């Protein structure tokens, strides 16, 4: 068959016979290639074999036997530059039919997708969910890592390790093993977990280790994590807890002072709880305990020096040597000084001298004292402040029951409210003394063991109940006083400053009728003319009755009632001299007191202004009467 020779071949000046042979072979090959595709159907997503027709800068043209040639973007070889360089015209390659472009008569092919689909089928046919696979970590993406297990699979960040990873990028480039936890065939996605695989492998190793661990043995481990209370140490498949108290015989503020993460250390197995899978480890137990011969090194009573390591609200800890600390309680810091905060006495790091007070070897505790370094000043208090002596001091503090008087620094005495006045019932110490007052007292008692000194203020003067009061307030004498308090059993009447008598309810009557409640006839602050019917020095009580009947009493003012004043016609007595007995005897019969004595006596008094005694009032009445007589003359 005669063929027309392409003019482009003429410059080669080949013999016609040779040219015809080359052309014949070409057409024969082409015919064979085209005939191999006869009757084939082409579908999108199908992998087909094609022949490279041409390679240009951005595209590779491939003939797949379709009516038009297909095009592959050179970007499909972005991660295989060598493969693209080795590609040659006429080479057969597998490609994926991506799309048909009927408008332009062009077919879009993808070698990358063909490779991925083939790899996907190979992986899913060989593996299933739960299988273990291996692959290299390729790169980090949002939420995790991409790993190559034949196809790219997703490794979530939470599944990278059985411990929280600080930076998952450190795994890039590593060849690791994983467990397939999900296969999505439709989306061609595979999710893997390294954490799950490590957990399963760890369980096997953990059971083996738990079975062979022996309490008391020494093991090497790696510090994996540090917490406030201690450090977790990996013994090769199972973690043990190295508690902060087992790190050192000395004081440890934080575990990081002793160990660091990823540090290899030797530890002692203290306890193995196989049921709960817990292991207690010790570091200090690798050395002998400094408490073994503590009694010999620090006998009770010994004076030693140490350094203050910590100051608390209740005392200070003093380090005697590494691993040996004792507590100086706040109460053991001073014999006399009242310490509110140990920091008033010591500071952290300060060198101090102490005395060993007690040792509890089992609890590893030592009680120390600072005040015991000096003599106890209370041992000489009894000599310095003998009972009966007068002393001076400053009121340091007031309480509901008395006042504390500082005799010297650290030595206080208690002035009780009952020892402030002979006659006045003191309800509040502030009625007598004030904080900061300089006062004089009498030492009543000294208790060295309890560190107490009892003081008295009233003891500075003679007890008026011994002679003075009984001598001035004789039975039958009449006085005018002020009502200070009403009770259900009677009326308290102030006879003079800090001295009261009790007018019992049985002594109150109106028109001869006994009053059940004093509030029916009198009020606090009113005045009464009363007569003494009983004086009891031992009980410190004065019993009273009405000097004249209630209807004849002058309840207001200092002047006595007219009934009492009418009886007076004698020189003015010296207050508080009692009214003469004959004047009292001249009292009208209607005013005579009822038989018997008051059922109850005075129980105390409130502080009120001094009242005018009836003697003074009677004197004024006598003077007025005399002036009237003189005027008539």
pLDDT value, residue 588: 39
Q: Which residue has the tokens 């001073």?
A: 334
Question: Domains in the chain and their CATH numbers?
Answer: 36-114 (2.40.50.140), 127-198 (2.40.50.140), 213-286 (2.40.50.140), 294-373 (2.40.50.140), 384-460 (2.40.50.140), 468-624 (2.40.50.140)
What lies within 8 Å, CB to CB, of 120 at 6+ separation is 151, 188
| Nearest Cα residue to 536 out of 619, 456, 597 | 597
Q: Give how far Cα 80 sits from Cα of 65, 117, 188, 416, 561, Å.
A: 26, 17, 22, 103, 133
Three-state secondary-structure class, residue 264: strand
Beta strands in 46-203 (DSSP E): 47-55, 59-63, 70-73, 92-101, 106-110, 132-141, 144-148, 152-156, 175-184, 189-193
Q: How far apart are CA 283 and CA 265, in angstroms?
A: 9
Contact 213, 279 (CB under 8 A): yes
Q: Which residue has the tokens 């995790």?
A: 144
Q: How far apart are CA 51 and CA 88, in angstroms?
A: 10
Beta strands in 274-342 (DSSP E): 278-282, 303-312, 315-321, 324-329
Q: How far is CA 118 from the centre of its chain?
A: 65
pLDDT digit string, tens, across residues 273-290: 988 889 999 999 888 888
Q: How far apart are CA 52 and CA 134, in angstroms?
A: 35
What are the respective helix, strand and coil percentages of the chain, to the nearest 5?
25, 35, 40
Q: How far apart are CA 633 and CA 631, in angstroms?
A: 5
pLDDT digit string, tens, across residues 456-500: 998 898 888 888 888 899 998 999 999 999 999 999 999 988 889
pLDDT value, residue 577: 43
Q: How far apart are CA 514 and CA 98, in angstroms?
A: 127
pLDDT value, residue 630: 57
Beta strands in 524-565 (DSSP E): 527-536, 541-546
Contact 514, 596 (CB under 8 A): no
Beta-bridged to residue 483, according to DSSP, are 493
Pairing of strands 452-456, 438-447: antiparallel
Q: How far apart are CA 219 and CA 362, in angstroms?
A: 27
pLDDT digit string, tens, across residues 558-582: 888 887 877 654 444 444 444 444 4
pLDDT value, residue 611: 38
Residue 280 preceded by cis peptide, ω within 30: no
| Nearest Cα residue to 496 out of 518, 473, 519, 474 | 473
What lies within 8 Å, CB to CB, of 211 at 6+ separation is 274
**3-state per-residue secondary structure call for 198-231:** HHHHHHHHHHHHHHHCCCCCEEEEEEEEEECCEE
Max Cα distance, the chain (Å)? 196
Q: How far apart are CA 272 and CA 447, in angstroms?
A: 57
pLDDT value, residue 259: 93
Contact 153, 136 (CB under 8 A): no
- 42-75 b/e (C-beta count within 10 Å ≥ 16 → b): eeeeeebebbbeebeeeebbbbbbbeebbbbbee
DSSP string of 443-506? EEEEETTTTEEEEESGGGS--TTTTHHHHHS-TT-EEEEEEEEEETTEEEEEEETTEEEEEEGG
pLDDT averages per 10-residue partition of the chain, 633 residues: 48 60 53 49 76 82 79 74 74 80 70 81 84 90 89 89 82 90 86 87 80 90 93 89 90 90 93 89 89 89 93 94 91 86 93 94 91 85 89 92 89 92 87 92 91 91 87 90 92 90 88 82 91 91 90 85 67 44 39 35 36 45 51 52
Give CA torsion, residues 435, 437, 443, 447, to 10 deg. 30
Pairing of strands 59-63, 70-73: antiparallel
Beta-bridged to residue 177, according to DSSP, are 134
Q: Give how far Cα 270 sits from Cα of 212, 286, 346, 445, 577, Å.
A: 14, 11, 38, 59, 93
Q: How far apart are CA 207 and CA 238, in angstroms?
A: 9
């Amino acid at each position: 068959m005669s063929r027309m020779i392409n003019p482009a071949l003429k410059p080669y000046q080949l013999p016609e016979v040779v040219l015809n042979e080359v052309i014949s072979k070409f057409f024969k090959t082409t015919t064979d290639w085209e005939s191999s595709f006869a009757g084939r159907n082409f579908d999108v997503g199908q992998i087909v074999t094609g022949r490279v027709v041409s390679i240009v800068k951005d595209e590779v043209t491939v003939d797949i036997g379709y009516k038009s040639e297909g095009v592959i973007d050179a970007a499909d070889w972005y991660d295989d530059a060598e493969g693209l360089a080795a590609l040659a015209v006429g080479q057969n390659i597998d490609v994926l039919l991506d799309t048909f472009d009927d408008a332009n008569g062009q077919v879009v092919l993808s070698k990358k997708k063909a490779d991925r689909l083939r790899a996907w089928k190979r992986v899913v046919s060989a593996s299933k969910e739960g299988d273990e696979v291996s692959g290299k970590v390729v790169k980090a993406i949002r939420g995790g890592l991409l790993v190559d297990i034949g196809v790219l699979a997703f490794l979530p960040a939470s599944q990278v390790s059985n411990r929280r990873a600080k930076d998952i990028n450190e795994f890039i480039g590593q060849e690791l093993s994983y467990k397939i936890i999900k296969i999505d065939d439709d989306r061609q996605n595979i999710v893997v977990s390294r954490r799950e695989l490590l957990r399963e492998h760890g369980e096997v190793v953990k059971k083996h280790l738990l079975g062979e661990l022996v309490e008391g043995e020494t093991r090497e481990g790696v510090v994996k994590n540090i917490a406030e209370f201690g450090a977790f140490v990996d013994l090769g498949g199972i973690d043990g807890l190295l508690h902060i108290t087992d790190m050192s015989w000395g004081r440890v503020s934080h575990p990081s002072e002793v160990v660091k993460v990823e540090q290899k250390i030797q530890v002692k197995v203290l306890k193995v709880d196989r049921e709960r899978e817990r292991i207690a480890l010790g570091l200090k137990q690798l050395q002998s305990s400094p408490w073994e011969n503590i009694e010999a090194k620090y006998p009770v009573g010994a004076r030693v020096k140490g350094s203050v390591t910590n100051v608390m609200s209740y005392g200070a800890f003093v380090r005697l040597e590494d691993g040996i600390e004792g507590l100086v309680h706040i109460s053991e810091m001073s014999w006399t000084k009242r310490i509110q905060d140990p920091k008033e006495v010591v500071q952290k790091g300060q060198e101090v001298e102490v005395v060993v007070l007690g040792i509890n070897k089992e609890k590893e505790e030592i009680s120390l004292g600072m005040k015991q370094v000096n003599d106890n000043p209370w041992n000489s208090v009894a000599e310095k402040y003998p009972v009966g002596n007068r002393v001076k001091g400053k009121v340091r503090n007031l309480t509901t029951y008395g006042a504390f008087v500082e005799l010297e620094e650290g030595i206080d005495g208690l002035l009780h409210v009952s020892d402030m006045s002979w006659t006045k019932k003191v309800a509040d110490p502030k009625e007598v003394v004030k904080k900061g007052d300089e006062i004089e007292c009498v030492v009543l008692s000294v208790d060295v063991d309890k560190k107490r000194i009892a003081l008295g203020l009233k003891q500075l003067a003679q007890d008026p109940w011994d002679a003075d009061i009984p001598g001035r307030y004789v039975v039958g004498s009449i006085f005018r006083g002020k009502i200070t308090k009403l009770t259900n059993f009677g009326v308290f009447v102030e006879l003079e400053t800090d001295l009261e008598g009790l007018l019992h309810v049985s002594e109150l009557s109106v028109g001869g009728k006994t009053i059940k409640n004093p509030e029916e006839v009198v009020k606090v602050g009113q005045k009464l003319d009363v007569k003494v019917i009983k004086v009891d020095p031992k009980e410190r009580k004065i019993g009273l009755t009405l000097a004249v009947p209630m209807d004849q009493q002058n309840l207001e003012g200092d002047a006595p009632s007219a009934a009492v004043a009418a009886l007076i016609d004698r020189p003015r007595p010296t207050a508080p001299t009692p009214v003469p007995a004959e004047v009292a005897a001249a009292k009208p019969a209607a005013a005579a007191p009822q038989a018997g004595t008051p059922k109850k006596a005075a129980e105390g008094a409130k502080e009120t202004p001094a009242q005018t005694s009836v003697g003074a009032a009677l004197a004024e009445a006598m003077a007025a009467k005399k002036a009237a007589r003189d005027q008539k003359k």
